[in-house]
Structure 1
Amino acid sequence: MTTNKTALLLAGLGLLAACGGPSKQDKREAAAHTPARTVVTPAADTVRLPAPYTTKSVSNRVNIQPWPAGKTPVAPAGFTVTEYAGQFDSPRWLYVLPNGDVLVAEASTIPMSLPLKVAAELRLDKSRSLRDHSANRITLLRDTNHDGTPDLRTTFLANLNQPFGMLVMGNNFYVANTDGVLRFPYQAGATKITGAGQRVLGLPKGGYNNHWTRNLLAAPDGSKIYVTVGSGSNVQEHGPENEVRRANILEINPDGTDEKIYASGLRNPIGLQWQPGTGQLWAVVNERDELGDELVPDYFTSVREGGFYGWPYSYYGQNEEPRRKNERPDLVKKALVPDVALGAHVAALGLTFYDKAAFPARYRNGAFIGEHGSWNRAKYAGYKVVFVPFANGKPSGPPEDFLTGFLAGNGQDAYGRPVAVTTLPDGSLLVADDAADKIWQVSATP
């Protein structure tokens, strides 16, 4: 491979600085000795933030190995883990239809505008977060005999463009491609979509850092749809014009009209859910890279209408981003502190509140979060599902490990990478594993 090809790929994936060490600007900012800080969250927890560049930014991608025969992820005592379904092509997101059918969005991250052979030669796809194609389809799973295992499997919708978020509203089915929201006629119980779709909203497609996922959530009264759009860069290094409508949660009418920004400064919001009981909107957000191993924590937060959450000018509240220093002090002062720190670079993606009764009472109304796993950290972080307990509508404790065992334990290999999490009508939890192409089911042991 030529040196030029290598540089092109790394630059296109936003990894050049990480692989080659801090840039000159990074070194200048590090020399300014920005102090370590502590932040008190709305739940009165203390988050300790080291100084930027305390450790060198590294690229450390996991090697994916097949799950050994008979091995599954590990849940706490009192739970059983089984394979719900397999043989997918990057099962990225899950949606449970009103009748209990499970929709699986199969889509992949693809290096943008780069020769795929270069990616293969560099083996940057060893984590299976990069592939040479995207399946671009939605698969339906149905358990026709109610034995807990799906026995009907059909292609629900195909020929999409990196589909992710899915939503049923009345007689319409919505899907969020990376470049827009489509609406299709839908009939309850249908096993596939046959009618023509209508594009109700165009969106800026996945950016330089491959923030291509677009999630959907309906307002409780069905009057609005909320759409997540991640940033097109790490910290706006490609200019503000590249970030128009990005790093936001958008609000639209069901027909795509009356778009407005519901909340902003969210670098890559993905999981989006209404909290049971309170009706408060919550989200999980991927934060920025290349400030060191422990910066910046991904987070789980309530989302305030009109709220600004810092990106790209500050992080975890009003801690100024050294690469955007003194650019927007007015916005830095407005930045809200997120509720729950999840750890730096864990790549928090999936989110579901547990509103069923099958699990023990302590899990009810708490949140399960799928952590896809780090690439910008010397020691791997994430690669698990965590649980955040709630009481009286607020987080009542720190994130705790719930589903682990995805890392092989040798410091370089993993068997899978959890993404979406959702619940079935029977109260079990489904976890999409887009590296192993499986969906795991966690059930309370009778």
Structure 2
Amino acid sequence: MLPATLLAAGGAVADEAPGTRIQVDPASLPPPYATDAVAFQPGWVPAPQPLPFRLPAGFAVNVFVEDLRDARWLAVAPNGDVFLAEPDVGRVTLLRDADGDGRAEVRHTFADGFRRPHGLAFQGDWLYVADTERVWRLPWHAGDAKAAGPPEPVTAPGALGSASGHWTRNLAFSPDGSRLFVAIGSASNIGRDPAPRATVQSFAADGSDQKTFASGLRNPVGIAFYPGTEDLYVVVNERDGLGDGLVPDYLTRLEEGGFYGWPYSYIGSHPQPGLEGPKDLVDRAIVPDLLFHSHSAPLGLVFYEGAQFPPDYRGDAFVALHGSWNSSRPVGYMVVRVPFENGRPAGWYEPFLTGFLVDGGGSVFGRPVGLAVAADGSLLVADDMAGVVWRVSYAGR
């Protein structure tokens, strides 16, 4: 096993080799503005051939589907069909690998006319779709290529806040199906945005009984229950503008009623410069379970429950790091594995699928977003820059 790579939030990830352990220590954060806040994003280039992906031994990547307009979020139906949210065209697309060759040769518009659909979740005979300001549901039956009826509203108008700022909304149902949880980002980088912004909201399955489940979450995106438990996890994009080393993004288990700092503090009670908050609130701000390098932009989150990968992957999390714009050097741009032990993060993460950055980090051909485990146990990765869904499979050493 490779030795741990210990780094503070401001340190550079010196080796992106798959399997390298990366730890970000919440006790070793740099001071604010230790470096300038720099706007930098690698330029886009077409995917090189052969594809320069790097993976642990025994894994391979192929194109599941390509030529997509805006490949963002994924969900796998109970019958194995794959559903993709394409926000820029207001569409939910059905993808089907009918012949089992690892490529989706069937593609249909399942439903369209949404504003910017993102989160997807199946519950019973319904596909739930989180748009910017409302959750909808569509009738779903195994084999349908198109929704059998129009979308039905689940939540009330305005229940998810406005579409300003962080516009994605993502969904998870409680294991018993009785509650619907919606991750909602802030309207600003740092500001006093009232709920439901910067929170995870909880609803009865029919959209009634709205409650704030957790708050102080600047931009929560991927949200999922740990398998076999009622532990709800979320990945969060923290604030920008404080330098390369601040603020670490994170994965954490949500405590009901918990406050996670934004906008008044970060990673516990580290104060936000120039914005004093209520002392009792800041004092109880929760330190997240696992920190990612600052500005990595974690979006997709999925727990691996498939049977294709080696047994030690079961119960671990995969997280898609979409990549930075507010760092002097590019960070993220990869899918990482977060090992779990006894139902909790083990304390580090490991690069799993890397190689999106090329030309020494000056260019990039793809950015991972949504993740899903396919019926055959492969890992699907939506890429909104390349317009592709990648498929990661394991064939053994």
**Taking structure 1 as the reference length, what is the TM-score of the superposition?**
0.81
Find out whether 1:395 has 2:350 as its counterpart.
Answer: no
Contact (CA 8 Å) 1:74, 1:81: kept in 2 or not?
no
The gaps in structure 2 that reach 5 residues or longer are: 1-8, 11-22
Counterpart of 2:170, as a letter, is N
Aligned counterparts of 2:358 and 2:46: Cα–Cα separation in 1: 10
Contact (CA 8 Å) 1:420, 1:431: kept in 2 or not?
yes
Find out whether 1:217 has 2:172 as its counterpart.
Answer: yes
Find out whether 1:244 has 2:195 as its counterpart.
Answer: yes
Counterpart of 1:52, as a letter, is P
Find out whether 1:98 has 2:78 as its counterpart.
Answer: yes
Report matched runs for 1:166-177 at 5 Å. 166-177=120-131
Aligned counterparts of 1:352 and 1:298: Cα–Cα separation in 2: 17
Aligned length: 373
Greater Cα shift, 268-277 or 224-233: 268-277
How far has the Cα of 1:46 moved from its partner?
Answer: 5.0
Contact (CA 8 Å) 1:419, 1:431: kept in 2 or not?
yes
Match of 2:227 in 1: 276
Match of 2:33 in 1: 53
Contact (CA 8 Å) 1:284, 1:351: kept in 2 or not?
yes
Find out whether 1:137 has 2:88 as its counterpart.
Answer: no
Do the aligned partners of residues 411 and 152 (structure 1) sit closer, same or farther apart at CA in structure 2, a change above 3 Å counting? closer
| Aligned with 1:205 (options 152, 158, 162) | 162
Match of 1:415 in 2: 365
Counterpart of 1:445, as a letter, is A
Aligned counterparts of 2:295 and 2:378: Cα–Cα separation in 1: 28
Name the SS of the counterpart of 1:331 in structure 2: helix
Counterpart of 1:275, as a letter, is Y
Report matched runs for 1:362-441 at 5 Å. 362-441=312-391
Report matched runs for 1:65-76 at 5 Å. 65-76=45-56
- 1:362-398 CA distance string (max 9 Å, x none): 2111111000000000001000011111111122241
Greater Cα shift, 290-299 or 328-337: 328-337
Find out whether 1:182 has 2:136 as its counterpart.
Answer: yes
Structure with the largest fraction of helix: 1
How far has the Cα of 1:305 moved from its partner?
Answer: 0.9
Select the structure of larger CA radius of gyration. 1
Aligned counterparts of 1:370 and 1:323: Cα–Cα separation in 2: 32
Aligned counterparts of 1:268 and 1:294: Cα–Cα separation in 2: 18
| Aligned with 1:308 (options 259, 283, 291) | 259
Find out whether 1:88 has 2:38 as its counterpart.
Answer: no
Match of 1:26 in 2: none
Match of 2:119 in 1: 165
Contact (CA 8 Å) 2:24, 2:291: kept in 1 or not?
no
How far has the Cα of 1:289 moved from its partner?
Answer: 0.4
The gaps in structure 1 that reach 5 residues or longer are: 1-35, 38-42, 108-133
Aligned counterparts of 2:218 and 2:357: Cα–Cα separation in 1: 26
Name the SS of the counterpart of 2:375 in structure 1: coil
**Taking structure 2 as the reference length, what is the TM-score of the superposition?**
0.90
Aligned counterparts of 2:302 and 2:49: Cα–Cα separation in 1: 29
- More contact order relative to length (CA 8 Å, sep ≥ 6): 2
Contact (CA 8 Å) 2:26, 2:291: kept in 1 or not?
no
Do the aligned partners of residues 47 and 360 (structure 1) sit closer, same or farther apart at CA in structure 2, a change above 3 Å counting? farther
Counterpart of 1:204, as a letter, is G
Match of 2:236 in 1: 285
Calculate the aligned-residue CA RMSD, in Å. Answer: 1.8
| Aligned with 2:181 (options 220, 226, 239) | 226
Identical positions, percent:
47
